[in-house]
Structure 1
Amino acid sequence: MSTWRDFWNQDTPIYANERHKTLHYRGVARDIAALIPSPDAVVLDHGCGEATDADRVAAACGKLFLCDAAPLVRDRLNERFREVPNIQVVSPEGVGDLPDASLDLVVSNSVVQYLSRAELDASLRLWRAKLKPAGHLVLADVIPPDVSPLTDAAALMRFAWQGGFVVAAGVGLVRTALSDYRTLRSRLGLSQYTESGMLGILERAGFTAERRPRNMGHNPARMTFAARPAPDRA
């Protein structure tokens, strides 16, 4: 197991059980749908994972592109949503083939931590090129430097208590600690950013940005940023 992409291209121990996975993706779909500006909007969910409730997002927009780097995940998405006409599954390379200035909304949830700084900068350039001038980019679940694995574990247990899978979550934390996830996290690390640092990165990439009051997903210690392309300087 050499990269994060390799890790996600398999059945992972991240979700404690099916209920955990269902509730996670249901909440993410709800949050993305709430961001869609109009019924005919063109939306990209970049780094979507299994996105089991993506049909709910698709029902709120004109076109939904689901992008994931893992071939196994893309195969499952294609199988799950083959009957949903306005969902198209693409690879990260396929995003580059989309017409420039064609997207109304780009959402990248719980992805930034797995990208190097060079990869993040390249992604921001790509997303800015594909967004319409009035489009929006949402980066969610960004990890601040002061958030530890223990903080993440506590957030998961609160979510599990609310969702009714506490025992499975406890077992899942142990399973994750013994998995390739821990090994990769120790070797590759997770990218972390302060609020001011991420705002500066977005500004230098050609966006105007702000931190949203609430993070997308169940972990309030992490951050979500909303950005839009800044006018090009003459």
Structure 2
Amino acid sequence: MADTRPTPWLEEWDRGQHAYFGDRHKAAHFAALARSLEPHLPAGGVLLDYGPGDALHVPAVVPGCRQVVLCEAAPRIRAGLGDRFGEHPDVRVIGPADLPDLAPGSVDVVLVQSVLQYLTAPELDVLLAEAARLLPPGGVLLLGDLVAPGAGPGADLAELVRFAARGRFLRSALARLAALPASTYARTRRRHGLATHTVDALTATVAAHGFDAHPLGRNLGNNAARWTLHARRR
């Protein structure tokens, strides 16, 4: 996991997360993630969150764990996490290059939320191998916010608008929506696309790394157009 060379998607996220319609959307997004994570938290154990972004969910998640390790590849975002959580006794901020320093079997749950769509197949294999090393038998890997084949930007936008309506920030969301097609996020998505996964194919991929897996009934977070795979280390 030491290869952190810039990729178009990594550079995009490090510039600023333009997938959100504003601060209220970002806060509501992370609040929904925290609520959906609650039944999966390792009481008295260690949660490794790979690719946490701004990690606004962490204050709500920490009480359900002994420690939260935030592994963020984007340098600017990682520096911000270090500033926010550097003095927190139960939160550790690292980069992918630091993962080999974690002892085998030292993590109880690995969360990879809204990350796989930005990874190539070789990058996914490296991530799964590292998760298999870090998790003991019975440890849990959560692969969330997965994009199914054929799901285009329209499905995500429809879910975001419904989420904005429920969260009562629809007016500001619609105002920002008009500018979204010209954003760097939209341009990067049009140029590079998103990796998609079927249940059968991804289940087979994680099985090859020593996991038994099944899809959850509902996606982690707020996007019902996407899905989550729950995998347990054999």
For the criterion TM > 0.5, the same-fold answer is yes
Q: TM-score range by the shorter chain?
A: over 0.9
Q: Name 2:224's counterpart in structure 1.
A: 220
Q: Does 1:110 align with 2:107?
A: no
- Report 1:9-28 matches (<5 A): 9-28=14-33
- Aligned counterpart in structure 1 of residue 158 of structure 2, from 154, 158, 161: 154
TM-score (norm. length: structure 2):
0.93
CA distance in 2, matches of 1:183, 1:2: 14
Q: Does 1:30 align with 2:35?
A: yes
Residue ranges of structure 1 left out of the alignment (5+ in a row)? none
Q: Name 2:3's counterpart in structure 1.
A: none
- Report 1:199-210 matches (<5 A): 199-210=203-214
Point out the more displaced range, 116-125 or 22-31. Answer: 22-31
Checking the alignment, whether the CA contact within 8 Å between 1:133 and 1:229 is kept in structure 2 is yes
* Letter of the structure 2 residue corresponding to residue 27 of structure 1: A
Over the aligned positions, Cα root-mean-square deviation in angstroms equals 1.4
* Letter of the structure 1 residue corresponding to residue 208 of structure 2: R
Aligned-residue offset at 1:86: 0.7
Checking the alignment, whether the CA contact within 8 Å between 1:55 and 1:81 is kept in structure 2 is no
Identity fraction in percent: 36
Q: Does 1:48 align with 2:52?
A: yes
Q: State the 4+ residue runs in structure 1 displaced beyond 4 angstroms.
A: none
Checking the alignment, whether the CA contact within 8 Å between 2:34 and 2:221 is kept in structure 1 is no
- Aligned counterpart in structure 1 of residue 140 of structure 2, from 121, 136, 142: 136
Aligned-residue offset at 1:210: 0.4
CA distance in 1, matches of 2:233, 2:201: 18
- Aligned counterpart in structure 1 of residue 98 of structure 2, from 94, 101, 113: 94
Checking the alignment, whether the CA contact within 8 Å between 2:42 and 2:64 is kept in structure 1 is no
**Cα deviation per residue 1:201-226 (whole Å; 9 max; x = unaligned)?**
11122211000100011111211011
Q: Name 2:182's counterpart in structure 1.
A: 178
Other structure's SS at 2:89 match? coil
Number of residue pairs the alignment of both structures matches = 229
CA distance in 1, matches of 2:201, 2:168: 37
Q: Name 1:73's counterpart in structure 2.
A: 77
**Cα deviation per residue 1:25-55 (whole Å; 9 max; x = unaligned)?**
11112222321132x1111011100011302
